[in-house]
Chain A
Amino acid sequence: MNFHTLSQLAALAAERNTEIGALMLEEQSAESGRPADAEFAKMKEYYGVMKEAVQRGMTENTTSRSGLTGLDAQRVGAYNASGESCLGGPSGQAMAYALAVSEVNASMGRIIATPTAGSCGIIPGVFLSCQERFGWDDDKMTYGLFAAGAIGYVIANNSFVSGAEGGCQAEVGSAIGMAAGALTELRGGTPAQAVHAVGLALKNTLGLICDPVGGLVEIPCIVRNGFGAVTALAAADMALAGVRSVIPSDEVIKVMLEVGSSMPEKHRETAGGGLAQTPTGRKIMEDLRGSRREEKLES
């Protein structure tokens, strides 16, 4: 790739007079040696898998194998439909869809890791709800995924995207930044505005620990995907309105690296701290171990 930082990415897009998504498609094709339409088709297929996961999560039983989670997307969907929700339509829809995909993931269904499976709800939640609202076609959404990928590529290579390495900020935080930047571009923002959206979003998740109960990608991961979708919409709105990330987004990414690296191991996906070690978290863990022992005795 011909860029390593977000400022290089924005400068390159401006220089070539193109959008981040189209630029990334070009760069990807050069990197892989495959024609651009083949790469585009693969990404479009991925978008199809995302749509399928939203559909499944909103209509089918998503109770996880542990029995701890499931069907919250449908609860939120029904509440949105009642007209009583605090957020209001579009944000509520993004939240419901994000929950839906994360619940499909927890129940061992098929999803696209964006950038990881633990954070797989945010981009589909934001993308599908906005597609419905603004009437965009799938090709436009596919370019949006390339834009999100370009942003994630910079974050991953300058910091990290996994909870085990950098806490939840790396996982859910990166996904929020990617969704915010891509949505800013989809709504007509400039590459520079998209980059500001990334910084605004990432700043708001710095320090977020990875503390999955029982070590599973369920609690609190699923609800964090729901919140993440809403945060991404907010960051895009701020950037489109002209709000800037005063600390440049590339510096925010470096801060994420610093904060994540200094996080104690117990807060990095080991279930050794945080919510996982609350009295209830510990009880759930013991119950899970107990039910596994029973499974073994039966077999």
Chain B
Amino acid sequence: MRFKDVFSIIGPAMVGPSSSHTAGAARIGRAARQLLGEMPQKAEVIFYGSFAATYQGHGTDRAIAGGLLDFATDDLRLPDSIELAEAAGMDLSFRQGAGLFPHPNTVRLELAGESGGLSLTGISIGGGNIEIVEIDGFSVKLSGMYPTVLIHHMDYLGVLAGVTDTMRRGRVNIGHMSLDRKNRSGAALTVLELDERLAPELAAELMALPAVQSVKLIHLEEGEKKPAESAGVEGMKEEKGKE
């Protein structure tokens, strides 16, 4: 099922004008921000297909910038997000990509933060629904509809058994799981879509497993549908200071 529930049809609550070019793009940007775990200092945004052709008119650039600031799809600051991001010190650039791309609405993000970088490719499949199809060179498939855990680890016997056993002990059900590795015994990325949020203790247990290098979470539903209070540029700077 590409569309999983009633709210992927009715909704999201969003700031216009386009659910695929604006809301979907904002959610892709937000997923990247949450994976990076901090405000990007530098963000290179490459648009493909219909995104490349119409991103200025649809505010797709603003939506991506808003997502990188961790704004939800209905955050009223979205129309001003490029200015807010720049004021907060983000070096943003936008360009049109060349070559093959997986969907008419594709965006690739190259992010650099204080403590690391991230590359991510996302597609916007309509009605604000998205799929992330690539992260740091790994093939993935995640929708952002569910609390999601991304585990960077080495391809090592028993890692998945440790992960699933941790979930079982924590009584968290796994709805979808995928693994991709660069090569045999090399770097691997496992993605879990969960039925509920992962408690910090369980994330710590995952982190403690042998061969696990990092555990990252995406919660896109958070903040969506609630009217967000408008916060100024100062709010942004504070947030940056905290991280």
Contact = CB atoms under 8 A, between A and B. Distances in A.
Interface in B33-62: 49-50, 53-54, 56-59
A207 interface: no
A33 interface: yes
A162 B126 contact: yes
A120 B9 CA distance: 11
A290 interface: no
A115 B127 contact: yes
Given A148-B10, A152-B9, A215-B54, A113 B19 contact: yes
Contacts, number: 173
A42 interface: yes
Interface in A131-174: 145-146, 148-150, 152-153, 156-157, 160-162, 164-165, 170
Interface in B12-29: 12-23
B225 interface: yes
Contacts of B22: 117
Contacts of B155: none
A64 to B, nearest CB: 8
Interface string A89-113: 0000000000000001111111111
B170 interface: no
B195 interface: yes
Interface in B66-90: 74, 76, 78-79
Contacts of B15: 108-111
Nearest to A218: B17
Contacts of A11: none
B17 A156 contact: no
B16 A107 contact: yes
Contact of B18 (A65, A66, A109, A117): A117
A182 B216 CA distance: 41
A217 interface: yes
Contacts of B156: none
Given A31-B4, A117-B22, A165-B126, A215 B53 contact: yes
Interface string A28-45: 100111000001001101
A268 interface: yes
A117 B6 contact: no
B5 A28 contact: yes
Chain B interface category by residue count? 35 or more
Contacts of A216: 17, 54, 57-58
A164 B6 CA distance: 21
Contacts of B53: 215, 270-271
B2 interface: yes
Nearest to A27: B6
A31 B5 contact: yes
A153 B14 contact: no
Contact of B54 (A105, A149, A162, A214): A214
B16 A109 contact: yes
Given A153-B9, A157-B3, A108 B79 contact: yes
Interface in A178-232: 178, 212, 214-218
Contacts of A212: 54
B130 to A, nearest CB: 12
B125 interface: yes
Contacts of A43: 6-7, 10
B223 interface: no
Nearest to A53: B16
Q: Which residue of B17, B57, B74, B126 has the most chain A CB atoms within 10 A of its CB atom? A: B17
A116 interface: yes
A65 B16 CA distance: 11
B6 A165 contact: no
A269 B50 contact: yes
A219 to B, nearest CB: 11
A39 to B, nearest CB: 8
A263 interface: no
B6 A108 contact: no
B14 A113 contact: yes
Contacts of B49: 164
Contact of A217 (B2, B7, B16): B16
What 9 A-B pairs have minimum CB-CB distances, sorted nearest first?
A: A162-B126, A215-B54, A105-B16, A152-B9, A149-B6, A117-B19, A113-B19, A156-B3, A216-B57
Interface of B: 1-23, 49-50, 53-54, 56-59, 74, 76, 78-79, 104-105, 125-128, 195-196, 225, 227
